[in-house]
Amino acid sequence: MEIKEYKLEIIKIIDEAIEVKTFRVKREKDMEFYAGQFFMVSLEDDPKLQRAYSIASSPDNKEYVDITVTLVGKFTHKLFECKLGDYLMFKGPYGKFYFEDDMKNNLVLIGGGCGIAALMGITRYCKSKNLPNNIKLLYSSKTPEHIVYRKELEKLNEERDNFDYIQTITRPKPEHNWNGRTGRIDEDMIKENIEEGSLYFLCGPVEFVKGVISTLEKLGIKKEQIRTDIWG
């Protein structure tokens, strides 16, 4: 797809989790991308300071585009000061980490932290087009308060027969009252969700993705079945 630049108005800001916000911008008519791809984003008054953000909304949604961002350092502190009506500059789309309609395989989506954003783009797209691919989403967060899109994921899990959401928490404390799975996404968790011929989409920080790749390889998953989006 052709790389283009856009100036897009912020129309909604959503508090998703601890230090995580979604910035929703109005979509331009000629803005094209595949589910899972990313754009380089900058602020109007500082075009040189730009960072990559996955598109979390479905490419099918022509009204708006969402990016979901964790507060970290230089750029994100400035972004978190933005208000409704401010503009963001988007350049893209970029990346080979994407889902296309002709992928008929079942999907295993594995995300850590804000890596869920690209996987949510794929999930929302498959839902919006009512595609038959079975999706298993394995998601690792520090605490229950760090789970991004929790309500939407739980709803999808209940409503859609071909969508399974499996959450794990890596830093549980008694006050969280978390009765679900704990610990990292490990061999057992992946083994339970492996299906013959699935495609694996991995997204998150570098150490997370590396760890999951080595587990998948140990389990005999071929390189061609694995797509990765590595941050940092």
Query: Site residues (CB under 6 A) for ligand FAD?
Result: 38, 51-54, 67-70, 72-76, 95, 114, 117, 229, 231-232
The nearer residue to ligand FAD, 38 or 139, going by C-beta atoms, is 38
Instruction: Name the pairing type of β-strands 163-169 and 181-182.
Output: parallel
With CB atoms as reference, the residue minimizing the distance to ligand FAD is 73
Q: Residue 54 Cβ, how far from ligand FAD at the closest point, in Å?
A: 4
In the bound complex, what is the minimum distance in angstroms from residue 194's beta carbon to ligand FAD? Answer: 26
Task: Give strand pairing partners of 64.
Answer: 26
Q: Which two tokens stand for residue 100?
A: 């296309």
**51-55-60 Cα angle (round to 5):** 155
- Minimum distance, C-beta of residue 89 to ligand FAD, in the bound complex (Å): 14
Nearer to ligand FAD, 193 or 229 (CB): 229
Minimum Å distance from CB 146 to ligand FAD? 12
Minimum Å distance from CB 111 to ligand FAD?
A: 10
Query: What's the rounded Cα separation, in Å, for the pair 87 and 105?
Result: 38
User: Residue 223's closest CA among 187, 206, 199?
Assistant: 199
Residue 74 or 171 having the CB closest to ligand FAD: 74
Q: Which of residues 17 and 67 has its CB atom nearest to ligand FAD in the complex?
A: 67
Measure the CA–CA gap between 8 and 31, rounded to whole angstroms.
11
Which amino acid belongs to residue 85? G
**Distance spanning both ends of the chain, measured CA to CA:** 24
Q: Which is nearer to ligand FAD, 118 or 193 (CB)?
A: 118
